[in-house]
Structure 1
């Protein structure tokens, strides 16, 4: 069977190709660039823990805490345990890591300098043409347009892309600097020594400087600072950018030094590019800085009318544009890839028909529905946060604190602006299971908790390590207290394990049996059926192989009566 054609080599396209390879599906990535991602320190992305868990090890930085400040007053500090800490990484570093992982996959191929200009479909597959001196034709079983906001694939399909432009605009600067609230250890020169921790800050002063700014730590002692600008306005000149940096650092330095030693005044101690070296500022102040990169980031909100047209799909920025109020655009695109990969794999391996159509249609209904809900939440929140009107009186905790809380949600993956989606109304379920299911700490359709697990071969790890292809299209998790202290060869042949192992082996899709000592709010001997994208399909008591099979049939698009 022909490979899947992936058009575009951004994070979504590369992650999709990698996930397909792990599901034993070949793919070819048609990359219109030269294959070398441009290094831009001011272009970063924030990944949720469950999103990052299914990717190769990434060279980013996980935050230890998030602080909010209104004017000169601290409002809140949120400590982030490792399982809840987002990963902040430069986009070019993410892309290079994914390209490196794909280089080791025999089923994946990236073809640079390949700009698609024609796309045709028939009952058996997709044909794409890439322009060049002689032109090249590519044949695939399916095609996925991951080619960005100006997607050629979307235009060739004739899919509309309605929405709003310039919803938000930010001036962005990447600095190498020591900020006064940094955590961890420092060397004699004032450099941060503990490279895997950091504390981000949201500072809001609606009536003065710095206005609204976020400071988010990166690896290698760098920070990304974002200042909110009017949605439409003049260009930000280099001189204006330097003024913003100096003014903001001066405010933070003055506040921190005054707090640390009220009798002593302080200054920013900053320096622009090309200035001479300076002595580090006092420990309470801001150290000298190096301006690494700058830019202006304009946020648009758009949503493609359709994400599937027969054998061609859209994902990432080709399908949606997000990013206002801290909503994480790249993270959403990676969720698209995780949702689509295992569904394409099932259709690729097991043929076509009504079940395959239901399965592939569920990609649009689940992911487009989730992104549409995110965009609606942004539309409802923007008037409250930016203009202080609308629903302000209904927000808990008072206006100022509520505004900061709403701005925090998108960055930390909470609430309607940031929490992982729950596919509660997915078509991949069966009414026949309703009487069989039991409740656990995860709602059906929601992402599962990353608990310690043991596989049948005795290997141990975290549940998320089996997602994204290594565990197949379905994970079957048995909650069995006590198994953690015994070698798997003892409990594999005891109790209900032989029957369950046999039932898993006979499922109509590739599945892996795992065992956990416990799972949040799950009784002993509960079985959880988990999709390859980490969302719970169903939970039911062990000893019911018919329920497990019905669940598997529903997950692959069949058995809906």
Structure 2
């Protein structure tokens, strides 16, 4: 089987790496000859860093990123309204938010890609046709058609793949013009190593430190910003002396949009990342959403290749689309509250929205199944990642379903055997399960909790549907 991935940005390359880990080969088609050199995405959360861990680049990513201390809401005079801290080590084993330069992340991913014999990158090509079963591209004027058992459209907001499957946008009615400025400077910048959100409806702005000498400002502007205007706008944070470097790496105008494709799949042609959804940046989930797409789909596609029920692929859009829609609604609400409120309740909305959107645990909370009792290990949440014997839990679980259990009962062992799920036991995990008041947890390859056995019970009760899809059996022991 060969999977063709259209687009070799972070989402496409991560999808290829995750497929390779599952033993599935892929061909990536990329129109640029090399990585795109200018910065775009700048933040990921700790859950998404587990996806980078699964892709094999956790250590390399740590070397090119820096933890963010959190979010400060400030008024028009830059007085602090509220501050929301982020931990340097969250429940998933990574900083709750990490800042980075996207070209550096892409280089890390490409270097790992080059080490994977199952991944082939073809750069400098123009994809001209996407069909179920094949992709056609041009290289130096010569057309080549590749047969594809599946196609992943990671080709951005102007996706040809989205057009090919007949998808259109569902628009949430949000569109704002912003200017994004990335700067490299050795001048002293008034920064607390977190994000500043200026809650001024006349001139809302966002500021963040990305690297040792790298900073980003975002200003809501309907027109461009010249050099003198830029110096005035950044003056609350930095006033470089004539002999100090102040290099504008990029200055670009964007329309922040909120929209989701009305379909993410036709047959075995799928949409991922910006091809499927676009979100305003106010909760830092743009790239995160695309990497979650890759993590959700890759293992399902690998299982179907190995004989699982084709209907398993239906769960991709069914799970990801509601999650993305909710993230987008939160981002729109956060943007309105933090940049548009002008009445007496504005400061309250600022605080409430920031608490909802930026506090620890929000990404996992968004995954919860409706009607399921809340708790750190509820069905549909991402399982935390403690260290076991000095190693992160995910390194022990492998690429399949897995069971973490204190003393597995015969029923738990039967489910594990049916799903090909290893059972992991360790003293560190025993303490963790006791604390969460469960005896066993069934975890999917993307680290989502499928089911739990409450303390004192003996069986998983919510796994039959997954067992049928994964194993093809009508019943599960």
What TM-score range do you get, normalising by the shorter chain? Answer: 0.7 to 0.9
Please tell me whether residue 200 in structure 1 is matched to residue 153 in structure 2: no
Partner residue of 1:448 out of 377, 383, 387: 383
Name the SS for the 1:556 alignment partner. helix
Deviation at 1:410, TM superposition (A): 4.6
Structure 2 unmatched ranges of 5 or more? none
* Change over 3 Å in CA distance of 1:497–1:165 after alignment to 2: closer
Q: 1:365 aligned to 2:318?
A: yes
Query: Which residue of 1 is the match for residue 208 of structure 2?
Result: 216
Deviations along 1:264-321, one digit per CA (max 9) or x if unpaired, are xxxx5424xxxx415xxxxxxxxx7443332223212221111111111111111111
Match of 1:534 among 440, 447, 456: 447
Tell me, which stretches of 5 or more residues in structure 1 are unaligned? 184-197, 253-267, 279-287, 427-433, 455-459, 481-495
- Once the two structures are superposed, the pairs formed by residues 384-399 of structure 1 within 5 Å of their partners are 384-388=337-341, 398-399=345-346
Match of 1:89 in 2: 100
Match of 1:342 in 2: 299
Q: CA 1:109 to 1:223, structure 2 compared with 1: closer, same or farther past 3 Å?
A: same
Pairwise CA distance, 1:16: 0.6
> Matched residue of 1:302: which SS?
strand
Secondary structure of the residue aligned to 2:381 is coil
Matched, 1:79 2:85: yes
1:247 is displaced (CA, Å) by 2.0
Tell me, in whole angstroms, the C-alpha distance in 1 between the residues paired with 2:201 and 2:433: 42
**Cα distance 1:79–1:247, how it changes in 2: closer, same or farther (>3 A)?**
same
Counterpart for residue 243 of structure 1 = 229
SS of 2:169's partner is coil
Q: CA deviation at 1:379?
A: 4.9
Structure showing greater Rg: 1
User: Which residue in 2 is equivalent to 1:277?
Assistant: 243
What is the CA–CA distance in structure 2 between the aligned matches of 1:304 and 1:549, rounded to whole Å? 30
Task: For residue 71 of structure 1, report the CA deviation from its aligned partner.
Answer: 2.9
| 8 Å CA contact 2:35, 2:106 repeated in 1 | yes
- Residues 411-470 of structure 1, C-alpha deviations (whole Å, 9 max, x = no match): 56665xx666315159xxxxxxx9xxx98532210112222235xxxxx4222445xxx7
- TM (norm. structure 1) is 0.72
SS in 2 for 1:16: helix
Structure 1 residues 512 and 356: CA distance shift in structure 2, 3 A:
farther
Aligned-pair distance for 1:15? 0.7
SS in 1 for 2:418: coil
Alpha-carbon shift at residue 129 of structure 1 (Å): 1.5
- Asked whether the 8 Å contact 2:279–2:286 carries over to 1, the reply is yes
Counterpart of 2:27 in 1: which secondary structure? strand
Q: Let me know the Cα RMSD of the aligned residues.
A: 3.3
* Residue of 239, 260, 278 corresponding to 1:303: 260
Contact 2:44–2:284 (8 Å) recurs in 1: no
Inter-partner Cα distance in structure 1 for 2:9 and 2:404:
33
1:100 and 1:93 map into 2 onto residues whose CA distance is 11
> Which residue number corresponds to residue 168 of structure 1?
176
Taking the aligned partners of 1:203 and 1:140, their CA distance within structure 2 comes to 48
